[in-house]
Amino acid sequence: MVEREAGDIAMLGRLLELTVILNADMERMFAREGLTQSRTHLLWLVHQDGPATQRHLAEALGVSARNVTGLVDAMVETGFVTREPHPTDRRATLVTLTGRGADTARSLERGQGEFAALLFGDLSEAERDRLGRGLDHVIDRLKAAVLAEEPQAPDDTRERP
């Protein structure tokens, strides 16, 4: 039992090391593009889903309307997105990628593909399947543990990064 526990703790240490390395790499990549993690998430959402209202973006990002307004303001100022009139709702605007925003999103997408190839390109199909199943298991357990600890207030308006 003690050996198993020591092995589990060592594995957790490896996961934490992986998290630190991946986070540092992401932060460097975002900085090269002039972005933060939150701004990149917003850029990615608009790239994947197309033009969106700020309300939709706030819900998708899990942040308040005030927080998303600040994010969009910063993205407009730096030339990644614009606010365009909504075609059917005069009260709403659509956040839309600029040419710079679209180019940056495509660059990030290419970078993801290259990074994935670097990390997993030499794994056999069986190794990929085992890794995928193992990661799914760990992620599911972690989500369940984190969600079990979060207070579930119906009007939770905490801003999240």
Sequential DSSP letters for 44-84: HHHHHH-SEEHHHHHHHHT--HHHHHHHHHHHHHTTSEEEE
Whether 25 and 100 map to the same domain: the answer is: no
Mean pLDDT of the chain: 89
Whether 40 and 107 map to the same domain: the answer is: yes
**For the chain, percent of residues with pLDDT exceeding 90:** 70
Alpha-carbon gap, residue 90 to 138, rounded angstroms: 46
Q: What residues contact 11, with CB distance under 8 A and at least 6 apart?
A: none
pLDDT digits (tens, 9 = 90+) for 27-84: 888 888 889 989 999 999 999 999 999 999 999 999 999 999 999 999 999 999 999 9
Residue 152 pLDDT? 55
Angle at 11 between CA 40 and CA 108, to 5 degrees: 20
Whether 14 and 79 map to the same domain: the answer is: no
pLDDT digits (tens, 9 = 90+) for 11-30: 999 999 999 999 998 888 88
Residue 151 pLDDT? 65
Q: What residues contact 66, with CB distance under 8 A and at least 6 apart?
A: 159
Domain that holds residue 2: 1-33
Task: Output the domain CATH number for residue 44.
Answer: 1.10.10.10
Is 82 within a domain? Answer: yes
- By C-alpha distance, which of 93, 74, 75 is closest to 84? 93
Whether 59 and 23 map to the same domain: the answer is: no
Whether 42 and 28 map to the same domain: the answer is: no
Whether 42 and 106 map to the same domain: the answer is: yes
Whether 4 and 51 map to the same domain: the answer is: no
Whether 94 and 28 map to the same domain: the answer is: no
